Amino acid sequence: MTQIAITRAVSASLGQCELTHQDRMSIDLDLARKQHAEYEACLESLGCELLRLPELPALPDAVFVEDTAVVLDEVAVITRPGAASRRPEIESVAGALKPFRTLLQFESPGTVDGGDVLAIGKDIYVGLSSRSNEQAVTQMRAELAVYGYSVHGVEVSGCLHLKSAVTLVSANTVLVNPNWIDPCSFAKHRTIEVHPDEVYAANGLLIGETVIYPTTFPRTAERLSKQGIGIESVDLSEMAKAEGAVTCCSLVFTHS
């Protein structure tokens, strides 16, 4: 099995990105591109084969490829992002995924960002956020039932996406900010809470048995290490200014 990571070059217009919960700050484009390249190198070091998509200069958020698709073992769900400005990103990602998966397409009035979808085994959790709605949960439940998936809606408040508040950090362990979601939604899994001073610290990207994790949350990183979670640290400070994080910048899946 080959582990593939789809990434996309940082857009020249990144500074005009969509923002929901953060104030706009100046983004150093050269630094953002350097950090993104280091993130890609980290993916490669953990065994991923990169499929790099070209820059879309006029689409500021296009680097955040996670939001355009949900890739499962059997199929890929092409999303319908909640921000209309992001929907032109979809076509090229669908084209990149077509050789690897059968594609399912979301339809109006459903909206969903991939950042609101967390798949753990046959359970799929969909964040009910400013970007993803109940119709998305209904559609996903109907489309994926045939493959044996159970789809659960999870209320999200205070942050952009479900995966701003919870991510998988080992086979049965989730990292959670309990102020943004109800941890009871993940009661069947072991839970590690973020350090209370690091509210954005719940986003990590599990590759194999290692978590790619931001350098900016050392107290939560210490909590992970104490629980036996292996970490590879990356600096994505410029992406964070665009409400991005480590899961946002790639679509990772296996292919035989």
Residues serving a catalytic function are: 161, 248
Smallest CA-to-CA distance from 136 within 106, 114, 162 is with 106
Cα separation, 67 vs 250, whole angstroms: 9
For residues 163 and 203, is the Cβ–Cβ distance under 8 A? Answer: yes
Pairing of strands 117-120, 123-128: antiparallel
Q: Which of left, alpha, beta for 147 (phi over 0: left; psi -120 to 50: alpha)?
A: alpha
Q: Is 173 helix (H, G, I), strand (E, B) or coil?
A: strand
Sheet holding 210-214, edge to edge: 205-207, 210-214, 230-234
